[in-house]
């Protein structure tokens, strides 16, 4: 059993605890621009089970969150079509931070500063367990994917592209 590293609370873990959601904590050595490949390697899990939280915006600059498998990209064209927008694009890092309240690389869909619509790649909901950012760089939480729909009202979409 790995030694339990204490991780101080984040907005994300506070929200999960408030809703009595079950989660496991997984701190790891964060690498700048390492992405989900690094976290998956550090945790010894499949990168497909690591879910990235992407802050994007529509053509009116309204922010939204997209949850995607770590080893996939988002087809912004398919996403825009499914959610009834003309276009969707990633927010610039400083804009994403303003909307979410998290540093890029540490963005969690739980406990964001601004309430934003959340969209989840449909196949993520079929996984037995996912690893998603817990609100800090180098810190993932393991949760049941159903929490995405129950706590975040995440809407399933199909917009994955293999990396």
Q: How many CA atoms lie within 13 A of 118 on its CB side?
A: 22
**Over 70: is that where the pLDDT of 7 sits?**
no
Q: For residue 6, what pLDDT is reported?
A: 55
Q: Which domains does the chain have, with CATH numbers?
A: 11-162 (3.90.960.10)
pLDDT tens sequence across 53-101: 999 999 999 999 999 999 999 999 999 999 999 999 999 999 999 999 9
**Long-range Cβ contact pairs of 57-62 (< 8 A, separation 24 or more):** 57/88, 57/89, 57/90, 57/91, 57/95, 58/83, 58/85, 58/86, 58/87, 58/88, 59/85, 59/86, 59/87
**What's the pLDDT score for residue 108?**
98
Task: Name the pTM for this structure.
Answer: 0.94
Q: What is the pLDDT of residue 8?
A: 79
- What pLDDT is attached to residue 2? 41
Question: What are 101-155's pLDDT values in tens digits?
Answer: 999 999 999 999 999 999 999 999 999 999 999 999 999 999 999 999 999 999 9
Structure confidence at residue 3 as a pLDDT band (50, 70, 90): very low
pLDDT band at 162 (very low <50, low <70, confident <90, very high): confident
pLDDT band at 1 (very low <50, low <70, confident <90, very high): very low
Helix segments in 5-140, DSSP class H = 11-18, 35-43, 76-83, 93-100
Q: How confident is the model at residue 33, as a pLDDT?
A: 87
């Amino acid at each position: 059993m790995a030694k339990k590293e204490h991780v101080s609370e984040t907005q994300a873990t506070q929200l999960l605890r408030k809703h009595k959601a079950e989660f496991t904590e997984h701190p790891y050595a964060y690498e700048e621009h390492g992405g989900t490949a690094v976290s998956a390697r550090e945790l010894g899990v499949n990168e497909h089970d690591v879910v990235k939280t992407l802050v994007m915006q529509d053509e009116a600059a309204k922010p939204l969150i997209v949850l995607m498998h770590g080893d996939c990209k988002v087809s912004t064209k398919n996403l825009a079509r499914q959610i009834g927008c003309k276009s969707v694009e990633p927010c610039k890092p400083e804009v994403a931070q303003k909307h979410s309240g998290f540093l890029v690389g540490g963005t969690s869909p739980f406990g964001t500063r601004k309430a934003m619509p959340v969209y989840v790649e449909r196949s993520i909901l079929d996984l037995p367990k996912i690893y998603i950012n817990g609100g800090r760089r180098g810190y993932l939480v393991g949760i049941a994917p159903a929490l995405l729909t129950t706590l975040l009202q995440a809407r399933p979409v199909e917009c994955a592209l293999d990396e």
